[in-house]
Structure 1
Amino acid sequence: MAWTSYYRGDGQPREEAEPPLPPSPPWREFPRPDVAEGRLFQPPEGLVEAVNAALSLRRPLLVTGMPGSGKSTLIESVASELKLGAPLRWHITSRSTLTDSLYRYDVLGRIHAQQFAQLSGAPVEDSIADFLQLGPLGAALAPTERPRALLIDEIDKSDLDLPSDLLDVLERGEFRIPELTRHQDQRVSIRESDAAITHEIVDGRVRCTNFPFIVMTSNGERDFPAAFLRRCVRFRMPPINEEMLARIVEAHLDAATAARVSELISQFARDVGAGRSLATDQLLNAVFLLTGADPEDAAARERLTGLLLRDLSDA
């Protein structure tokens, strides 16, 4: 297995380039293009219609499915095809709040800057814009000529109240920044996380001109309020099957590789169908390494397969 020769476990130091690291998988090349994975995304039957319905109705798209089924990659596919720019991303945890997704205000940083200016004898400038930043949802709702693409990832991991908190903002397509409504300047330019992009906010009010394309993903671990669900276009990713897996492998590698590992793909589909918790990127990793392995080293291939295709519930 030539790809294992970089590290041998014999404790003997070697020059960094002797031998060089093997080429990386196509999906792990860096720096990463903003929409690289989106061009390889293989939408299952019905998802194209769901995306178009969400776009036409200006509604969020709630996509439910098992981990690794391609839910979060969908946003890159749509952003790439429709030229919506680099997708904005909001990764949900149990501590996520609506305010954090709209904007962030570094009040302590502003106080420290004022104190430092006073101590140094420099003029004290009240530049609140330097300490405000739009969050991913806030940036998506800022006025733009083209809709933005926003991923709200794993919303089922949120606090119980967050889905309901989202309703008013998503229905109205606007929000206020209280710190700016009380500020002396009527117009303030606020930056996104990408400091090169700024938006002029008038009277502290952010109002979208083009409703963003929003994908919310869920692993199906909880139920959502009916009021939240009726405001979404909903799509459930279909169960993984052998044909779908072969198309994914072919898209990321090539048709010849997919044909060579047909038995591995079949076994993976059977394992998932039997209830094992596996993700499609695990299959891609196994295919990438096993196709470069020594076909006669059956024991090593078996160990590698077990290493890469461990059940996700097995910590």
Structure 2
Amino acid sequence: MSSTAEPWGAYRGTGLPGRDATARSWPVPPPWRRFDGGPDLPPPPDDPSAMALLGDGPQPSVAPDEVERVNAAMALCRPLLVTGEPGTGKSTLAYRISRELGLGRVLRWRITSVSSLREGLYDETGRLGPLGTAFLPHRRPRVLLIDRLDRAEISLPDDLCTVLEAGGFTVPGDPSQVTTADDPVTPVALPGGAVRCHVFPIVVITSTGERDLSPALVQQCVSLVLPPPAQETLRAIAAAHFPQGLAPDVLDALLDRARTAKGPVVRRFLDALHLVTQGAPASLAEGLSWQEALDAVWAWTEVGEL
């Protein structure tokens, strides 16, 4: 294949709003993954969280394998299972996809040890949760982030397979309309209480590998393993969040600390940069060297994981 060939698929990995995103051709689903939900719902508003997570500057480049696997998941109408150490950008990927393709607000389901399938689908009042909302018949796919599925009890991944395979579910009691956690004010018509997608949502499932997921779920997914962020990636992330620029010596010093850090490296790196821009090193007690002051700032960013 020529190196100048047009990349396949709608996703290019830029992380920036694409002017031609709505014009890009969407993949034709396989015959066995076509759904007939309706009537079509309009797209949701833009996601205000994307700016906070991604910044508004140029985004770090991503590996070709990441772009290809995202497009494969979209083309096959399968979930994308993203694994990697904390801080590798697993959750952020969902926001990159949504912003670049103009798919609106990301639906986020934060998994805990007591999460159940019903929690994701609907509550006792019939309001749809993030999983349930993702399967409403939107004109263009919603992006659903199922965050840290490895925290769940062993039964949840297997239960999730049923909905992912069917492309929908039925709300008990056959309500004629429901509201959603995404928009608790505007009711959505639900003939016969059935929720069925028009196009399969872009489902991003993250896991740090603390617990093995069920083989049945893994076999439904396209897998992507994200490596720890490289120095060039961290520089690009810093530029996106601090477009006004940073002192090169400070940036280099904090990059050096990030190189050997464990845990959520990107979060700690950005926290340290923010503290520096707020004058944190200068506020430390006299008698410390500049390097010692930066060491102290970096130490402040270390927080425990629940």
- Using the size of structure 1 for normalisation, the TM-score is 0.72
Give the superposition deviation at 1:168.
1.3
1:287 aligns with 2:273: yes
Give the superposition deviation at 1:259.
3.0
Q: Which residue of 2 aligns with 1:307?
A: 300
Q: Distance in 2 between matches of 1:38 and 1:278?
A: 16
- Amino acid paired to 2:189: E
1:133 is paired with a residue whose SS is: coil
**How many residue pairs were aligned?**
247
Give the superposition deviation at 1:191.
0.5
Q: Aligned match of 2:48 in 7, 11, 33?
A: 33
Q: Aligned match of 2:194 in 198, 205, 209?
A: 205
**Residues 140 and 199, structure 2, Cα contact 8 Å, conserved in 1:** yes
Deviation readout 1:78-113 (Å, 9 max, x if unpaired): 1111111111111000111111111112xxxxxxxx
Unmatched runs of 5 consecutive residues or more in structure 2: 1-46
Gap change, CA 1:206 and 1:278, over 3 Å in 2: closer
Q: Distance in 2 between matches of 1:277 and 1:246?
A: 18
1:266 aligns with 2:251: no
Give the superposition deviation at 1:265.
0.1
Q: Which residue of 1 aligns with 2:139?
A: 145
Q: Which residue of 2 aligns with 1:219?
A: 208
2:184 is paired with a residue whose SS is: coil
1:237 aligns with 2:231: no
Give the superposition deviation at 1:248.
1.5
1:191 aligns with 2:150: no
Gap change, CA 1:52 and 1:255, over 3 Å in 2: farther
Aligned residue runs from structure 1 range 151-162, under 5 A? 151-162=145-156
- Amino acid paired to 1:89: R
Q: Distance in 2 between matches of 1:290 and 1:39?
A: 18
- Amino acid paired to 1:243: E
Q: Which residue of 2 aligns with 1:127?
A: none
Q: Which residue of 2 aligns with 1:53?
A: 72
Gap change, CA 1:145 and 1:39, over 3 Å in 2: farther
Q: Distance in 1 between matches of 2:142 and 2:303?
A: 36
In our comparison, the structure showing a higher alpha carbon Rg is 1
Deviation readout 1:151-170 (Å, 9 max, x if unpaired): 10000000101111111110
Give the superposition deviation at 1:279.
2.5
Q: Alignment RMSD, CA only?
A: 2.4
Unmatched runs of 5 consecutive residues or more in structure 1: 1-31, 106-130, 181-186
**Residues 151 and 214, structure 1, Cα contact 8 Å, conserved in 2:** yes
**Residues 142 and 199, structure 1, Cα contact 8 Å, conserved in 2:** no
- Amino acid paired to 2:216: A
**Residues 63 and 217, structure 1, Cα contact 8 Å, conserved in 2:** yes
2:127 is paired with a residue whose SS is: strand
**Residues 79 and 221, structure 2, Cα contact 8 Å, conserved in 1:** yes
**Residues 55 and 240, structure 2, Cα contact 8 Å, conserved in 1:** no
Aligned residue runs from structure 1 range 60-139, under 5 A? 60-105=79-124, 131-139=125-133
Q: Distance in 1 between matches of 2:101 and 2:55?
A: 12
Give the superposition deviation at 1:254.
3.6
